[in-house]
Structure 1
Amino acid sequence: MLGVHAGDSLGATVEFSPWAEIRDRYPDGLRDIVGGGPFHWPPGHATDDTDLTRAVLLAYLEPGDDVVRTAADHMMAWYDGAWPGREPGSRPVDIGNATSWGLRKYRRTGDPRDAGAGAGRAGNGSLMRCIPTGLAVADRERRVRESMEISAITHDDERCTVACAAYNEIAAALLAGADPSDAVTEGREAAKDLAVVAEAVEFGRSLRPAVLAAHGPGSALEAEASGYVLDSLVLAVAAVLDPRPFADVVVDVVRVGRDTDTNGAIAGGLLGIRDGVDAIPAPWVATLQFADEFTAAADRLAGRF
């Protein structure tokens, strides 16, 4: 959870910036959480990535029979401004189109399984928030189902739902002690029925974040890391297979450019499981808006296993 938050807050400073611009501003990469960016974030403030991850997390910390509905209700609270660090009633300053569409549809239908932005909208807005399912659910069948159903509240394109399932199988395998390569194999297995996602997981094995950071995404990433769900999944797989320390890898993922906060968050989540909290630079953690809350939540989740 802190890995998601740290990657998000680091990348927020250069969100939407292309690789060449980041290279010129930060030749060695952005290595401190300083805030700013197009939305003028305070240092360590959650963007929509961490906020919506928190919405899913809260659903798993509360008793109830329908975690999908509870997650959707927390997303609506965020959308409507009932959220820490926000003026009550204010709308989010940053929200993806598919997320906005899906939540507005949920308000109309009242059914979290009849929402979603529809096929053809394959952004990374559900992948960025899905990791609480991978951390909270021990049963594989339930974990895959809930990964997909929570994705579909806003992102019901099959590439998104299956990407979330694959990502959370990687997360769960890492949490159980698997080495990163074996964990990635688990993710690919979860995606086997949708070739385009399985191929994206496998393609991530061939990429090196340091090379992408040094030379730009080029043709390696279909949408140049600008928000396509499979670009973000590819980067996360490449990141978790990179043997370097947490900070070095996340810095390089952010250096790739474009959707830097979300790519940093998605990669940071897997790296956080792989390396543990002590690998995240202490000055980064000290700035994070929800650091104490996420630490307490992790202790509660750990008690369930």
Structure 2
Amino acid sequence: MDDRTKDKVFGALFGQAVGDALGMGAEFLDNKGVASKYPNGLRHYSDIKYSIMRKIHPGDYTDDTEMMECIVWSLNKEGHFDLMDIAQFFRRWLEYGPADVGIQTASVLRNPLYRTDPLEVSRSVWEKSGKSLAGNGGVMRTSVMGVLKGNVEEMAADVCRLTHYDPRCVGSCVIVSLVIHNLVYNDYVMSVEEVVQMGKKYDESIEEYVRLAANPDISVLRLDERGKTGYTLKTLSAALWALWHPTDFTNGLVAIVNEGGDADTNGAPAGAILGARFGYDTIPTEYTEGLNNYKDLKREFEKLLSIIQ
């Protein structure tokens, strides 16, 4: 693996954590609320003066990256992809009492049968909802799947289904993971039409959000739309907007988190894509080294990189 590829791997992984940590300061505010709290914009961790999660401090990341870490720990421990092992890490993470966890994720992981048959539990929770649950708790953590080698589509889909069984969720995870994989290993930006065709394999409704993301005007995404802020396709559209429009990491991420909505979860995959596109070296050190768990993350990601190689 050459240095450029390594830089992109680290960019994707750290970009996820940075997007999560910065976006936390605007989580569930609408666009006007963000402007009110941050008259000069939310651009630095030190700007953060609000969090729906009162125990979180500037430089902390949230469940989005903590669940991604669970996948990394499993890969580091086993040296290969093991879906059941990832599920056990998810369950243990929940038992430690994270400061933030999505309603759908908690509902699945708390089921006593999850340890032995996680996919069946996830499917059952989704079906009992009338097949309506399509939260963004799968796509928020999927960035690490994009830096792996092998059948990325299949692996991303399987890990998504561990908590989010809806095909809209699965399609979101597959698209973000393949976008990152192509950026990292092929230095290739997937086109709108390529992403549309990929989405159609999973759900026809994905196309609308892909085409919205093709518009350079980020406001058309309505990331703060009431009642839809935690929707997987909203987060997918933010991630794809980050693929096609920004010319650098910082301004791309800042544009997304300042739109509000589920800003940390929108920021996580968007940050991962920006990091994979522009590289770790383009992410300001105030963002990376300013993460409160920076040294531990760096060790985890370095170990994963050695396994990938």
Q: Same fold (TM over 0.5)?
A: yes
Between the aligned partners of 2:85 and 2:62, the Cα distance in structure 1 is 21
Between the aligned partners of 1:59 and 1:188, the Cα distance in structure 2 is 32
Counting only pairs closer than 5 Å after superposition, residues 271-290 of structure 1 correspond to structure 2 as 271-290=274-293
User: What RMSD in Å do the two structures reach over aligned CA positions?
Assistant: 2.3
* CA deviation vs aligned residue, 1:219-250 (integer Å, no higher than 9, x gap): x8866761110011011101121232111111
Question: Letter of the aligned partner of 1:120 in structure 2?
Answer: S
- Which residue matches 1:191? 199
Between the aligned partners of 2:251 and 2:81, the Cα distance in structure 1 is 39
Between the aligned partners of 1:189 and 1:61, the Cα distance in structure 2 is 33
- Which residue matches 2:30? 18
The answer to whether the 8 Å contact 1:187/1:201 transfers is: yes
5+ residue gaps in structure 2?
A: 1-12
- Which residue matches 1:115? 121
Tell me how far 1:302 sits from its aligned partner: 3.6
Seen in structure 2, the aligned counterparts of structure 1 residues 75 and 302 have a Cα distance that, compared at 3 Å, is: same
- Which residue matches 1:249? 252
- Which residue matches 1:38? 52
* CA deviation vs aligned residue, 1:163-183 (integer Å, no higher than 9, x gap): 10111111110112333344x
Tell me how far 1:31 sits from its aligned partner: 0.9
The answer to whether the 8 Å contact 2:31/2:224 transfers is: no
- Which residue matches 1:84? none
* CA deviation vs aligned residue, 1:247-305 (integer Å, no higher than 9, x gap): 11111101111211111112101111111112211112122133233333443444434
Tell me how far 1:13 sits from its aligned partner: 1.4
* CA deviation vs aligned residue, 1:138-161 (integer Å, no higher than 9, x gap): 22xx32112111111111111001
The answer to whether the 8 Å contact 1:217/1:225 transfers is: no
Q: Are residue 69 (structure 1) and residue 84 (structure 2) matched? A: yes
Tell me how far 1:123 sits from its aligned partner: 0.8
Seen in structure 2, the aligned counterparts of structure 1 residues 187 and 112 have a Cα distance that, compared at 3 Å, is: farther
* CA deviation vs aligned residue, 1:79-113 (integer Å, no higher than 9, x gap): 011xxxxxxxxx22211111001112364562122
1:126 to 131, 138, 142: 138
* TM-score, L = length of structure 2: 0.84
Seen in structure 2, the aligned counterparts of structure 1 residues 186 and 221 have a Cα distance that, compared at 3 Å, is: farther
Q: Percent identity?
A: 27
5+ residue gaps in structure 1?
A: 82-90
1:293 to 281, 296, 301: 296
- Which residue matches 1:104? 110
Aligned residues: 286
The answer to whether the 8 Å contact 1:7/1:267 transfers is: yes
